[in-house]
Amino acid sequence: MNKYEKRRLCLINIKDTLYGSKIVDLARRIDREQSYVSQMLYPEGKKWKKRIADDMVDIIEDAFNLPKGWLDGINNGLDIKKERILTKQHEILLDLFDSLPKSKKK
């Protein structure tokens, strides 16, 4: 299995785990068109297939706050099925929530 197939399978894992069959939500998260993301998910040999290049790997890993190399199989034990992936926006909201007085958190 080459690196592009590993990346495709990892992206399918992200899609299936976090969005079910909704490619549009995955596309929004990485700020790409739905058709482009669909083409990245095509199997090798299918017409119009797009490979997941290094720059796209960075975009996807950043969008899901994944460690570098995760899409290439260097996941350091991180199982997306068990972990909640927080974006930078999630982290900002959590920081804001944590700064609220106890009485306001309810």
pLDDT in tens, 34-91: 999 999 999 988 999 999 999 999 999 988 888 888 888 876 556 665 556 666 777 7
Domain, as residue range, for 28: 3-105
pLDDT in tens, 9-31: 999 988 988 888 889 999 999 99
pLDDT value at position 65? 83
Q: Is 60 exposed, middle or buried (CB count within 10 Å of its CB: 0-12, 13-18, 19+)?
A: buried
- How far apart CA 45 and CA 30 sit, in angstroms, is 24
pLDDT value at position 78? 62
Helix/strand/coil for 14? helix
Q: For the chain, how many structural domains are there in total?
A: 1
- Domain CATH for 81: 1.10.260
